A and B are shown apart, each in its own frame.
Chain A
Amino acid sequence: MLFLSTLLDQPVVGKSGEVIGRLEDLIVRMGDELFPPISGLVVRDWRRRFFVPVSHLLAFADDTRLSSLTVDLQPFARRDGEVLLRKDVLDHQLIDITGRRIVRVNDVQLAAVEGVYRVVGVDISPQALLRRLGPRSLAHRIVGRQIIGWADVQYLASAAPVQLRVSYDRLTELHPVDLARIVDALSYREGAEIVAALDDETAAETLEELSDERLAELLEGMDQERAADILEEMDPGAVADALEDLDKEIAEQLLAKMEPEDAADVQLSLSYDEDSAGRIMSTEFVRMPEGATVGDTFAYIQSMEEPPDPLLAVYVVAADNPDRLIGIVRLRNLILNSHDTPLTDLLDDHVPTVHPDDPAEDVARLLAEYNLLAAPVLDDDNRLVAIVTVDDAMAVLLPEIWQRRGSRAFR
């Protein structure tokens, strides 16, 4: 097995065995390939550093052997798209996709695949550090490696000071909760890089899980159009919380750039106090007129462009006034009854309702006490405006989750 640490600073010899210099670094071209190929060598001769294209490389053995007699000594200069293994990868942080964590690279594994030297993995074991720290002659005595394949890590382009085109496909394997944990733990620059690579929907789910402070930082640093696109996908209550942490001008600009419909939801949320039911309620639910049957309901839900998620119950309203709540039919009752059953036969007897200004904690307790999955929210004029689901209420009842999320905040 070939490791970067055993090659670095070792002599580079030409065809006839003369020492040209010492190996300073290896250049890797990042692109769509799963295992990036080595494209060149940086050789150091005293204080001069020059570039040797990989075509001159014969093999890595105890030393680095070149195939040519003469090497035209081009002074080395950094170019876009190129990563230096020693400078930009070794000792830097990567995301371990399968382990769902941030790791530090203690060594880089290389291998010749069909004649081309490629980066195949990274060693994150403490033993690798010891091997590099001690004298070279003792290194082989320290055993133990913990290698993660390059296909299972996500390289962060912000580690290199040049423009890079890095594929972020692997990030999609991570759950937004894990992504958020990673973004929180990384520096701002690295976190922004990750969020920029996600699609709007995943980015929205990730941002919802972030600490308030990090969220505000990211939104302020992002392109406003992109920020608005992500905010549209987020829960209006979460957006409201986030906007309050922003500079007022930026918050206004972001809201103005959002789709009017989504912006209106956020405004509604903003009009309620933080920690009130208004902040955790959702306006996405299914209303059915009084006369409808189970079959009508199924047909209606299936015809919806984006059916609400979670879908726990349907809300039966007066036929002449869609804002007047008649009652609730649980999903279970819908499934268990034939298609021609009128909804009014399946109504729950007792349905507690809440007001948007009620403290969120009281709403959460109510849901827990009555074993409800959701409660309808009625405004001052008794109009049905939204629902609060048990999912959203959970976060209020489990304060340690909030504590952790709020931990980075200035407040």
Chain B
Amino acid sequence: MTLRDRISSRLPRLPRIPRRGLWPYLLALGPGLLAASAGNDAGGIATYASAGALYGYGLLWAMVLVTICVGVVQEMSARLGAVTGKGFSDLVRENFSLRATAFILLSLLIANMGIIVSEFVGIAAAAELFGVSRYIAVPISAVLVWLLITRGSYQRVEQIFLTLSLVFLSYIGAAFLAKPDWGAVLYETVQPQITWSTDYLLLLIALIGTTISPYMQLYVQSSVVEKGVTPHEYRYTRFDVFIGTLFAGLVASFIIIATAATLFPSDRPLESATEAAQALRPVAGPYAELLFGIGLLGASLLAAGVLPLATTYMLSEALGIERGVSHSWDEAPVFNMIFTTLVVLGALFALVPGLPLIQVLIGVYVLNGVLLPISLITVMMLVNNRELMGNQVNGRFYNIFAWTITVVVSLLSLVMIGATVLEWFTA
């Protein structure tokens, strides 16, 4: 037997990860799926539920477009991470001026802090649906999230987050309980139509704004880096990003279907995801409410973990300190301290009695709207930088498509901000 034969006869006995077929794709699932799922948080659910309640299936076609946009945006961030091996703020710091870096990161920090608060508010609301006091549910969730991130390795964190994202399936259940007219659903999905009213357009923009968020880009890039994805393995991660986006888009669509089948035509938008759940009860039965509530709790928990993590990645990269969930407290003290502060502050703010929540949340979304063009353009500039990406820059047609998305989404979110600010002055 030649040396080569002997090696061959021995190696196959021990494969731990099959490197062929579907396996590597499944093992790569994580960063993209989680980032996209975290976008379906309490605020997102409320927007989707409102879309269904106000316009029936009329906005389903838009979800198709929005999902494609999210996929492109997320793919570019993931590619940046895989090719350069560096997180978003690492790259910003190395390629933009210090003042620009400080501006981008500081505004991201404020916006993310606001969203972290909103996630804990979402947990509180979901807990109260099940009759549990927020003063019990919020601290427990905060401790759970904290323990998971500070004690777990990256794989453990990812596994638990992935399991948690299964709760989104409950929305599909809720949609079926609502007994929609599937023929109409299919027809409206492929048949674009626009109602030319201000409310309709604003809701359309809100739909885009809640689905494409800067923190999702931050998270997907940083976790691709921490997972250790290389350019060589990038095709698996791209699959993860696209599957994740598709999943998130489907979940959002099913939320629209559930409320469209039951609450449409409603005369006013739903203020929160909780309200949507309660409204489902008389029409679709208690199980629909239960499923909606479980979905809300899971979604908020997931986002309450992902957001502080994304924000911590961002800060520690920019400051140049040791980072990563995979390191113990002693090895990454600053990383863990930032993370702890974010979780504690988020949970505390969510428990402040009499906090004008709606106003705070609107402020947060406006800030996110301002940030979205900034982060999109930053990513576009980085991903097209040949010095960083080599031949992995955007292809020509992909680039035209990506720039179109960037410009359109940026303009829309600026319109949204204009409308919101106008409302403040007229009210």
Contacts and interface: CB of A to CB of B under 8 A. Distances in A.
B is a partner of A: yes
A180 to B, nearest CB: 13
B11 A185 contact: no
Contact of B228 (A133, A214, A251, A252): A214
B322 interface: yes
Nearest to B387: A161
Contacts of B327: 404, 407
Interface stretch (B40-48, B91-99, B166-174, B395-403): B91-99
A101 B322 CA distance: 9
Given A408-B326, A410-B27, A104 B320 contact: yes
Contacts of B4: 252, 256
Interface in A89-140: 91-93, 101-104, 126, 129, 132-133
B268 interface: no
A411 interface: yes
Contact of A244 (B6, B14, B99): B14
A138 B267 CA distance: 57
B15 A244 contact: yes
A409 B84 CA distance: 18
A165 interface: no
A62 interface: no
A273 interface: yes
Interface stretch (A21-29, A263-271, A377-385): A263-271
A244 B7 contact: no
Interface in B289-339: 319-320, 322, 324, 326-328, 331
A247 B20 CA distance: 9
A217 interface: yes
A243 interface: yes
B11 A251 contact: yes
A252 B102 contact: no
Given A188-B85, A217-B228, A256 B10 contact: no
A48 interface: no
A404 B16 CA distance: 19
B349 interface: no
Contact of A248 (B11, B84, B153): B11
A68 to B, nearest CB: 30
B22 interface: no
A255 B4 CA distance: 8
A403 interface: yes
B17 A185 contact: no
Interface string A150-166: 00000000010100000
Contacts of B8: 252
Tell me whether chain B's interface is mostly helix, strand or loop, or mixed.
helix
Interface residues of B, number: 41
B7 A252 contact: yes
Nearest to A78: B387
A247 B23 CA distance: 13
B17 A189 contact: no
Contacts of A409: 155, 228
A45 B14 CA distance: 64
A408 B85 contact: no
Contacts of A357: none
Contact of A267 (B7, B12, B232): B7
Interface in B151-171: 153-155
A358 interface: no
Given A252-B8, A267-B6, A404 B14 contact: no
Contact of B232 (A101, A103, A220, A270): A220
A260 interface: yes
A189 B27 CA distance: 23
A187 interface: yes
9 contacts: A91-B98, A217-B232, A244-B16, A247-B19, A248-B19, A271-B10, A274-B16, A407-B155, A411-B16
Given A91-B94, A252-B4, A407-B327, 13 more contacts: A92-B94, A101-B322, A102-B320, A103-B320, A221-B230, A244-B11, A245-B17, A267-B6, A267-B7, A270-B11, A274-B14, A404-B326, A408-B326
Among all A-B residue pairs, the 4 with the closest Cβ atoms: A187-B85, A104-B320, A407-B326, A161-B387
